[in-house]
Amino acid sequence: MALPVDETQRTATPSGAPITAAQLLAMPPAELDALFGSSPAGPIPVGRGAGTVIALPGTEVAKPIAAVLRPIAWQGKVFSPETRDLRNLISPFGVAAVRAEVSKSQSWVDGGECVLLDYSRSSRVAGWIRDEIREVAPGVYLGVVWGVGRLFGGRKRVLRFALTFPPPA
C-alpha cells in the first residue's frame, strides 16, 4: 500500500514546476514507484499523447535511450473516447497501430485505481501486454508495462513510459 504523499509532492517538483517526462527519466525506480503509488488514476486521456520510453530510469543512459526510441520506434498513443480504445504511434512515420482497449481498473502495482490499457483482446502483436497509467501532473501520465504469460513466468513489470498531453484549448 502506498504511503500518503502531500499533494504538492505528487504534482510538482521541489521548485513548484509541474513534473515533466524528462524529469521522470531522471528519477530512480523507487521514486517512480512512489510517485505512481501516490498518484490518482486521473481521467481517461483524450487525443494524442507524446510518448517517452523510460528504460533504465535514473541512469545516465535513460535520456539517450528515450531520444533514440521516440523517432524510430514509438512516438506515443492516440486515445479515442468514442470507441474506448487507443492506437500506438509506431515507426518513424508515426503509424497509428497496435490497438488497446481502455478502461478504469485495479492496478497490479498496488491495487488502487488506474487507467488500464488492455491489449489482450485487441492485438495479436501485443496481446501479452498490459499497461497501467496514472496522472502524475496535469496532462502527464506515468505508465507501467506488464508482460503476461509463460514468456514472463506469469506477469512481470518490464518497462515504464510517460505520456504527455497538450493543455486543453
pLDDT given at position 80? 98
Q: What is the pLDDT of residues 65-109, one digit of tens each?
A: 999 999 999 999 999 999 999 999 999 999 999 999 999 999 999
Question: What b-and-e string marks burial along 78-102, b requiring 16 or more CB atoms within 10 Å of the CB?
Answer: bbeeeeebbbbbbeeeeeeebbbbb
pLDDT given at position 6: 35
pLDDT at 123: 94
- Model pLDDT, residue 148: 95
pLDDT of residue 82: 95
Question: Which pTM value belongs to this model?
Answer: 0.90
Model confidence pLDDT, tens digit, residues 125-158: 999 999 999 999 999 999 999 999 988 999 999 9
The CA distances from residue 94 to 1, 18, 48, 90, 156, in Å, are 38, 27, 11, 5, 28
Paired strand residues for 164 = 50, 140
Which residue has better confidence, 99 or 1? Answer: 99
Domain ranges of the chain: 18-164
Q: How many CA atoms lie within 13 A of 15 on its CB side?
A: 5
